Amino acid sequence: MFGCLRRLGCLVILIIIAAVWYWYARVEPSRHAGATATGAAPRGWEPLSQPNAERGRRAVESLGQRSGPVFANLTASEAASYIFLAASKQQLPPSAQTISSAIIGDRMYVRANVALNEIGAKRLLGSLGGLFSERDTVTLGGTMTVIRPGLGQFLVREVKIGNLEVPSLIVPRLVAEIRRGVVPPGVAQNGFPMPLPEYISDIRIADGRITIYKNAP
């Protein structure tokens, strides 16, 4: 009888542990979706598009004019569309659907619904990979930096699959699976290369926008 009770007790504990994991990995993040570390609400997700990529390209190229502005402000969608659809020659997986971007705090986020086997997610996550279906939403969050004249990078600081945050040690390996094409020297293991005009000197993310600066004359 006591052995049975002990077995039932273990079963209850396992059920509680599973329920707690589900709450924090699936339910709790959705309650706080849209909140930043400081409690501020994001400005919303915008779809990536070729028109936004063109607007981003024009804003960047306007800085190259002798009498042009010294900086340009881009929305998350304009910047992400320029990076992933224009400047970098389609770095996202071919299966990517419903691609969108947002600025939350001092980071830019890009998310898309992708086939997980295309980015090696299940293999890299080991036993956790069995928790996911064939497709899920993958979210990349990070900052942007200028490495040298003509080259910048989108430096991925965090990755989520669904509402589960990928362990930081796996992030560079997952980014390497997602990146396509030749990676220029100087780009970090967790970075996506961003070809830039040589007159771009700095990129900053704040107040819901991305500001690109040109070299001082």
Structural domain contains residue 151: yes
Count of structural domains within the chain = 2
Q: Do 114 and 139 fall within a single domain?
A: yes
Structural domain contains residue 40: no
Containing H/E element for 54? Answer: helix 50-62
Contacts of 40 (CB under 8 A, 6+ apart): 105
Q: Do 111 and 208 fall within a single domain?
A: yes
Q: What is the number of helices (H) and of strands (E) in the chain?
A: 6, 10
Structural domain contains residue 38: no
pTM: 0.74
Structural domain contains residue 37: no
Structural domain contains residue 84: yes
**Assigned token pair, 169:** 């040690």
- The pLDDT tens digits for 139-172 are 999 999 999 999 999 999 999 988 889 889 989 9
Statement: residue 204 has pLDDT above 50 = yes
Q: Do 27 and 50 fall within a single domain?
A: no
At 203 the three-state DSSP class reads strand
More confident residue, 125 or 13: 125
- The pLDDT tens digits for 14-48 are 344 344 344 444 444 433 333 333 233 345 899 99
Torsion of CA 115, 108, 44, 159, to 10 degrees: 40
Structural domain of residue 178, as residue ranges?
46-214
Q: Do 57 and 150 fall within a single domain?
A: yes
